[in-house]
Amino acid sequence: IMPRQIPYKGQILNQIASKMMDATSDIVPNWIIDIPDPNVAIGHLCDPFKVEMVIRGHLSGHAAREYKLGKRVLCGVSMPNGMQENDKFPMPIITPSTKADNGEHDEDISREDILSQGIVSEEDYIILENYTQALFQRGTEIAAKRGLILVDTKYEFGKTKEGKILLIDEIHTPDSSRYFYAEGYEERQNKRAPQKQLSKEFVR
């Protein structure tokens, strides 16, 4: 909790999220019904899946911290040797986390554990994986048009009472995603310098 509020934070997040939901509605159905006010989103009531689908295009943030500790497997997914912080993965990796209740911290979990513990059925999880990859691809394309790199993000999904899986919460906002500035990215990596980014890392 920050000592001072950020003016218009809720409005900004809501407006970015609604814009991004609209920009991805052709590939993934979402919960939004209407945005009657900059601070308000009206949507379908869903039963949320108890996992967050975190997807990473680069070795940054939590993944980089784990990597520096010598770990080469994150959430059951192998990470290549010889990477440096903020390097791009050969392919984006999905590293789910449990969706904690009552303000507890989310925890890493593997696909195998999600299925074995019955948190999500295999049939539903395959859909979540496919949606996550498609959303990240679209988000990457949108970011590139703005001179940004979508580094990592998370998506949340829920199921309506009719059994339809919908994208819920917010997407591609600075509260749920990490962005790098594309200009100078390679130069900074070659110098092993910190990346210029838009993220919550400075708060952490």
* Longest CA span, the chain: 53
* Beta-carbon-side half-sphere exposure of residue 139 (alpha carbons within 13 Å): 31
| pLDDT classification of 99: cutoffs 50, 70, 90 | confident
pLDDT for position 183? 98
- Position 28, amino acid: V
Q: How many CB atoms lie within 10 A of CB 26?
A: 8
DSSP strands (E only) in the chain: 32-37, 40-43, 47-48, 51-58, 73-74, 77-78, 88-94, 97-98, 148-159, 165-168, 177-181, 197-198
pLDDT for position 104? 64
The answer to which of 13-17, 130-134, 155-159, 198-202 has the lowest mean pLDDT is 198-202
**Mean model confidence pLDDT for the chain:** 95
pLDDT for position 181? 98
Q: Is residue 128's pLDDT more than 80? A: yes
* pLDDT single digits (tens) 11-34: 999 999 999 999 999 999 999 999
| Percent share of the chain, pLDDT over 90 | 89
137 near 153, Cβ under 8 Å? no
Q: Which residue has the tokens 């496919």?
A: 130
pLDDT for position 102? 64
Nearest to 21 by CA among 2, 9, 35, 6: 35
Q: How many CB atoms lie within 10 A of CB 145?
A: 7
Q: Is residue 39's pLDDT more than 70? A: yes
Question: Which residues lie across from 159 on neighbouring strands?
Answer: 47, 165
Q: What angle do CA 85, 151, 179 make, to 5 degrees?
A: 105
Record the tokens describing residue 119, joined without a space. Answer: 């948190």
Record the tokens describing residue 62, joined without a space. Answer: 């939590």
Q: Enter the pTM of the model.
A: 0.94
Record the tokens describing residue 159, joined without a space. Answer: 């199921």
Segment 55-59 mean pLDDT: 98
Q: Is residue 105's pLDDT more than 80? A: no
